[in-house]
Amino acid sequence: MVQSHQRTTVRGPTFIRLLARLTAVDARASGPSLPDRLSRWLDWNHAIALSTALDGRPPAPPEDVPAFDSREEEECARVRTALAKAIEGARELATSGPRPAAQGAAPADFAPFRQRYLTLQRSIQGNTGQLRGRLRDILASGTPAMARLAEVDAVMEMALSPREQKLLAAVPVVLADHFDRLRRSATEAAEEGTAAPQENWLDTFRADMRGVLLAELDVRFQPVEGLLAALRTR
């Protein structure tokens, strides 16, 4: 009797769980703990900078920094909403229905989707980076404890951003593999005479890509939300 293979249940943020679901390989149990991973990611220069941020004298606050008020929270909410709308409104991710003739047929390859993902990803990165820097400047102008927190955030961003960018750059590769698997399955079903309308597999892919982008948006906003939470305690 053939036993069906049970994939390991992946726990963690929605972004990670979505990517694990879209991959063809089985996800194994988690490895080292977060502190162990951080100890591998931070070199001695980062460790010294982090130690200085935690134990040293906070740097002088930047000049001409506005006070924190509801306008900052409203701006963060506005940017997040605009980015979500850009994802939801991307024409490559529109589901089946009346479509321009040039887009009526199934794409020959993943290229248009890859370009759209990279464009939206850059927009998310740029906007969240600006918000994070602005909120950090405001935090640095507060109490010594808040200034220290702002310095720690700056060091962690400097230390972890290269690894973050490397990991997130692999997302389009995962999506490309998912695209190919769905298209191949649809082709095989068509040859066997059991195929659903061609747009169905594309709609599945569009929904999956949209979900991954929205989940990445959530991940990118986590540092912003953390700084907002700290500023609310002022």
Q: Which tokens in the block code for residue 213?
A: 């982008």
- For residue 7, tell me if it sits in a domain: no
The SS3 call for residue 134 is helix
**CA 18 to CA 13: how far, in whole Å?**
9
Q: 140 with 174: CB under 8 angstroms?
A: no
- For residue 19, tell me if it sits in a domain: no
Arithmetic mean of pLDDT, 49-74: 69
- For residue 21, tell me if it sits in a domain: no
37, 45, 57, 212 from 154: Cα distances, Å: 19, 14, 15, 27
25 burial type by CB count under 10 A (0-12 exposed, 13-18 middle, 19+ buried): exposed
Exposed e or buried b per residue across 119-148, where buried means at least 16 C-beta atoms within 10 angstroms of its C-beta? ebbebbbebbeebbebbbbbbbbbeeebbb
13, 30, 149, 159, 213 from 50: Cα distances, Å: 26, 26, 11, 9, 31
- For residue 40, tell me if it sits in a domain: yes
Picking from 225, 203, 22, the residue whose alpha carbon sits closest to that of residue 113 is 203
- For residue 50, tell me if it sits in a domain: yes
**CA 173 to CA 85: how far, in whole Å?**
24
Show Cβ contacts of residue 42 under 8 Å, excluding neighbours closer than 6 positions. Answer: 50, 159
Range of 207's domain? 33-92+106-231
Instruction: State the pTM of this model.
Output: 0.77
- For residue 20, tell me if it sits in a domain: no
- For residue 14, tell me if it sits in a domain: no
- For residue 63, tell me if it sits in a domain: yes
**How many CA within 13 A on the CB side of residue 14?**
13
Over residues 81-130, the pLDDT tens digits come to 999 999 999 999 987 654 444 444 555 689 999 999 999 999 999 999 99
Show Cβ contacts of residue 179 under 8 Å, excluding neighbours closer than 6 positions. Answer: 110, 113, 205
Show Cβ contacts of residue 34 under 8 Å, excluding neighbours closer than 6 positions. Answer: none
Whether residue 205 is predicted with pLDDT greater than 70 in this model: the reply is yes
Over residues 132-180, the pLDDT tens digits come to 999 998 998 888 888 888 888 888 888 888 888 888 999 999 999 999 9
User: Domains in the chain: how many in total?
Assistant: 1
